[in-house]
Structure 1
Amino acid sequence: MNDPGSAVKVERDMYPGINAFVKCVADSVSRHTQERDGKPRARSIVPFEKTDVKPDGADDLDRVDHMVTGCPNVGPVIKPDYAMALCLIEAKYSQNGQTDAYEQLARYSRNIYGSQPHRRFLWGLTVCGTLVRACLLGNDKIYASKAVDVSEPVGREQLVGLFVNWSLCESTRVGYDPTMWRDDNGEWTIKVFQNGTPHVYSGLEMVFQSYSLLGRRTRCFVGTTKAGGAEKEVFIKDCWPRVLKDSAGSPRDEVAFLRHIHDTLGADANLAGKYPMLEVAGLVQVPGRGPADVDDTTTAAMADLVMSDTAPPDAMPLREHKRIAMSPVGEPLQTVDSPDELIVAVCDAMEAHTEIVRRCGILHRDISINNILVRRTGDMVGGMLIDFDNAIRLDVEHVAAQPDGTGTLPFMSVGNLEESQVKLTALDDWESCIYALCWQGASGVNDDDQERPRDKPLKQILKWRNGSKADIATDKRAHMSSTSLFENHILAEFISGDARYQPLEDLVERLHKDLFFNPGASLLCHGCYMGKEKAKALQNGERPQEKQYDFGVDINITDPFARRAEIADKIVDDLMKTFREARDRAIKRLYPTRRETISE
């Protein structure tokens, strides 16, 4: 940390001073907190020796200025590792670099969540000149303290106090979850609660990592429990959903949705394994985090420093830390061996989706490559639709806002991106399904295909990921607005020179026509843009009225998305028929000796 009048003009000149300060505090804490047997009573908050490097466990190429750890170690900690990080430190030699320091701290810290599945929240520090700010990174906001000037004794005293508190406080106060831990063999164990009773699952295998800094931060695992003396594998979801209610005042609760789905569809053997079966579910119970802790002196001291100039607490949305254990167990969609396996898996998921909409009145609203799993039974492949966090009841919510950024940008429908007031139907999710299939077709259905060299770089489809929601919606409207534009801009970016991808391209082309240019619907239902010319074309008799799905629909509705919503059930029938036919052909290619198909 440099004096304003010093000759320090680059960040790297600050690193030795920061390291020396952290080590000094750690040594002092260690000397003052040892028991008689020499066992330390405090965690050791120490820096990694190397600075300005890419840490292990990163999913990007960014270099981190500093990283400190609270893990017990023998000897110096050399190479930074996100799996061991307590917090990051972002340094700027000028006090004018505060905004950049915040931005980099937030961008880099997300990797800690990806490497530490038991982190509930994160800490960070920014050092700009001699001004230090502590940051608390939560699900919805990043809080920053008032600046502490370490060129003055009172500032150094406050910063020392923060490190001492980190050294002495319980693990929950630095962001660790005591209901999830790793044993001496490196294996993770987790507790899933139901009605306050913990159910323990061990041997966790990470299925889906969360690199998200804000929002639900959904993580998924496969765990094992012993039931009746036999081991059983379950799929475990850990997330922080917002507490929301529908327009009728009832909670939007994934657990309640799953129970209703099972009660309604459980006897249908054709849907077995295509949606999750609820095993155990409930809110995470963290020991010792009750009202009695409010006046704890450690908490108060840390809050004085870290929370002093933040927004009022009532500005924060209410979230619940929830865990759900489900069966059967699936694998990420990216584990498919071929485009044919992808077609089978996604078709199974959309088959479940269709029946859940029609027979349960529940709309998923978040179709993406992360929310469809692959199931393998013997040599057979199938698919399963998961994650009903954003689902709604269609009988009470006809138009719904997007309170938590519903969906994943590349896969969100135009209506969701624009927060449209068009009637909610299954067509939004089918649109998302098409985008997901396009994404896999262009980037590759698995890691091996994604790493293959390309003839030309992706360009158009990447527009679905970059920019604001409005920008992405504009690009999607353009891409989907005609069959020629869709073929020339999106299908043209599918992996070429591989015959395995042709059936996937053919399927996507047919699904696009079924949804956006359905031959049974009038011209008013076609495309993505409103316009009087469509009404004129219809009135001029370009298509006989009696053959159109939307005969009788108000001709003044010229928004094609709104008109398609009026005939959603019939369009879904066409989409599902197309998908089942493609699935049956894929099964025959995958299993040429098998005589019957799933649809039969």
Structure 2
Amino acid sequence: MSQSQALVIDEIMEKCKQEEKWNNEWIGWPKDGSLETQFYQPVLVLVNYVIQQCNRTSGKFARTAVVHANCCPIQNRICAVARKSDIVLVDCSNVQRREGEPVVRWSDIHVVGEIKRTDKNDNVNTDLELAGYVREIFGNQPTRRFVFGFTICGASIRIWLFDRSGGIGSHAFSIHKDPKMFIRVITEFATMGDSQLGYDPSVLVYPFSIGRMDFKKDMHSVSEGQSGTTAESKIERFVLVKKIFYRAVICGRATVCWKAHRLDEDGKELMDKAYIIKDSWRSTLRDYTEGDLLKKATIALKDTVNSRVTKYYYHEDVTIFPISDPAVYQQSQGSKIVDDTFECIRKKLFLSLDDNGRVDSEFHANNPAGNPDCEIHEPLQSCSIGSTSSAVNVNNIPLKKPEYRIHTRLVTSTYGKPIYHFNDHLELLVAFRDTIKGHRNLYQIARILHRDISLYNILIGDDGRGFIIDLDYAIDTGSCQEKNKVQGHRTGTLPFMAIDILLQQSAHGFQHDLESFFYVLCWICCEFEGPCGTPRDKGCERKNLIAWATGLPENIGFMKLGMMQQFDYVMDTFSPYFKSFHHFMRKLHKMMFTAGRIKHDISYEKILKVFQDEIKRRDDENLPTNFGDLGIGT
């Protein structure tokens, strides 16, 4: 903590004494064990008071105010459960009034808090309640890199930081025994800049759009057929038009895809060509990035007419200045660093779990003096909610060591709509046929195995033709090291994973991806009313395949095995729109499966012939073939 900040905190502390907010304890703070509702107003009043004094004392503008959220609705939730946090910090300008009560949106919340009546509630269940609120924030703020939160249990407070590796929490401390630390936490939250609060500084403000991204790109693009690069580079600017996909999670890749247009040198938006910009947080355990593999595939398939694989344009690991004011850091000859959850966000905190799920951490690097980004991290030294293989259970809740992740960005030059937004039977069948061809090209020519065929990884271009995307879980089959590394790992999206992979009875091969294509088509026939992505009415009486999406992988594997042995049972769940698919699906199933399992002699050619025969039956003669010249998708 800097000397100037310490002076501000001392001055606020003195003001609290003078105005009878403090007298050996915080005056008016409910006793431990009081009703939870009795805490709301005292917490609200005290935190707002500290923020006001920070405004007057520090010379900084405290840009956040506190809203007592439990008394007001929070708009735009993403989860099925209507969550209402106890305390949130938001910009004053974003607090609306409805019948005299404050109303905020999840998209405007900077910091979130949970209040409990006693320090006995300072446990994993409370931590997970807070995590539920954070998921809502991430879900409404796709450019958020991390989120701060806090829990107040009686007079005990614990600070949390949530990022794409999970959550880490501080040691709990008493607001009565350490009032200056309490003041410091509130003033830090109130005066942080956007990047210090976790907003992505690489997404720049641009009028009438979501934002702008700039890339320093080689002059010779791989998508233009160039396999080499030159020393010359230029800045290319893209404007984000709309969000087309987002996986709203705390811990994981948190993939978000944007439709984007390039800007010319004069700043004019080039609307004749659409791109997809994909942001995700890849695991540091992967040797190959999606960008590396897609670049390899685009080069390998550059002479393949209609490759049916999305085309590489650019990729990078996102870099940012480590503090919110780039000018200050540049003056000290600082440079950008890679945006990751370990070094950039967590400041090299090392965590280790004990048998109770509460963990200790150590700093293995000193924070730069006067760096405001680092100061709030000093108390972050105990709890973890994360994800890797090493875990303990607390009250039957798994707590895991964090898997560290790197913020990565990929630009592709082909744009389309999801497969389930097909226009008619024919377009659906053609898109599947095309994408299976794309998978064959990836595997046989580029020597890349996809390993994650799902509802979200098949797109339809503006010309009505299908293509395959998303190489996040793909492997280079020419790399022995990569193949050995993934042996025994289950990979894919749960409802669409092959039976042998779910049961861990086989290494992942191309035939398992072909099996996944079959399950995606079954899912569309069962879960959608018809064209244009219209889902089945939840209230209609029907059997469905939702059970494929929940539970243990082994249980899902045995369930699928039984259903593939009695496939007519699955077809009974098809929506009426797909009644004409029964004969085709029965024929496809018979060709692919024996005794409920994928046949060993399955081939691309056999599957493609079944699709082609059905397409011909529906008269495919006039389909366009200009896949390489996609316009703006719909």
Q: Distance in 2 between matches of 1:242 and 1:345?
A: 31
Residue 189 (1) aligns with residue 212 (2):
yes
For the 8 Å contact 1:48–1:76, the answer to whether it is kept is no
Q: Distance in 2 between matches of 1:357 and 1:341?
A: 24
Map of 1:348 onto structure 2 = 434
Map of 1:392 onto structure 2 = 475
Q: Distance in 2 between matches of 1:430 and 1:340?
A: 20
Q: 2:500 aligns with which of 407, 415, 419?
A: 415
- Structure 1: segments with no counterpart, 5+ residues: 35-39, 246-250, 518-525, 529-560, 589-593
Map of 2:592 onto structure 1 = 515
Residue 527 (1) aligns with residue 596 (2):
yes
Q: Distance in 2 between matches of 1:90 and 1:309?
A: 16
Q: 1:120 aligns with which of 145, 154, 160?
A: 145
Map of 1:261 onto structure 2 = 297
For the 8 Å contact 1:193–1:280, the answer to whether it is kept is no
User: How far did 1:146 drift?
Assistant: 1.4
User: How far did 1:63 drift?
Assistant: 2.0
RMSD: 3.3
SS state at 1:307 partner: coil
Q: 1:87 aligns with which of 102, 111, 121?
A: 111
Task: Give CA deviations for 1:225-253 in whole Å, capped at 9, x if unaligned.
Answer: 135775532111111111345xxxxx322
Map of 2:164 onto structure 1 = 139
- Structure 2: segments with no counterpart, 5+ residues: 1-27, 219-232, 323-335, 338-342, 348-366, 389-400, 627-634
Map of 2:249 onto structure 1 = 212
Could you tell me which amino acid in structure 1 is paired with residue 517 of structure 2? Answer: C
Map of 2:281 onto structure 1 = 240
User: How far did 1:136 drift?
Assistant: 1.3
Q: Distance in 1 between matches of 2:57 and 2:485?
A: 57
Residue 279 (1) aligns with residue 307 (2):
no
Change beyond 3 A, Cα 1:166–1:454:
closer
Q: Distance in 1 between matches of 2:382 and 2:496?
A: 39
For the 8 Å contact 1:118–1:177, the answer to whether it is kept is yes
Q: Distance in 1 between matches of 2:474 and 2:264?
A: 31
- Identity in percent: 21
User: How far did 1:386 drift?
Assistant: 0.6
Q: Distance in 2 between matches of 1:67 and 1:373?
A: 41
For the 8 Å contact 1:50–1:79, the answer to whether it is kept is no
User: How far did 1:470 drift?
Assistant: 2.5
Higher strand share: 2
User: How far did 1:119 drift?
Assistant: 0.5
Change beyond 3 A, Cα 1:102–1:311:
closer
Change beyond 3 A, Cα 1:302–1:475:
same
Higher helix share: 1
Q: Distance in 1 between matches of 2:42 and 2:299?
A: 63
Could you tell me which amino acid in structure 1 is paired with residue 509 of structure 2? Answer: T
Could you tell me which amino acid in structure 2 is paired with residue 175 of structure 1? Answer: G
User: How far did 1:147 drift?
Assistant: 1.5
Q: Distance in 2 between matches of 1:417 and 1:18?
A: 49
Q: 1:305 aligns with which of 379, 386, 394?
A: 379
Task: Give CA deviations for 1:401-442 in whole Å, capped at 9, x if unaligned.
Answer: 38997322212223333444x243211112222222222211
The two structures have a TM-score, normalised by structure 1, of 0.78
Residue 491 (1) aligns with residue 571 (2):
yes
Could you tell me which amino acid in structure 1 is paired with residue 420 of structure 2? Answer: Q
Change beyond 3 A, Cα 1:256–1:301:
closer
Moved more, 359-368 or 289-298: 289-298
For the 8 Å contact 1:192–1:324, the answer to whether it is kept is no
For the 8 Å contact 2:166–2:387, the answer to whether it is kept is no
User: How far did 1:334 drift?
Assistant: 3.4
Map of 1:270 onto structure 2 = 306
User: How far did 1:321 drift?
Assistant: 1.2
Higher relative contact order (CA 8 A, sep 6+): 2
Could you tell me which amino acid in structure 2 is paired with residue 61 of structure 1? Answer: V
SS state at 1:334 partner: helix
Q: 2:53 aligns with which of 20, 23, 28?
A: 28
Residue 578 (1) aligns with residue 593 (2):
no
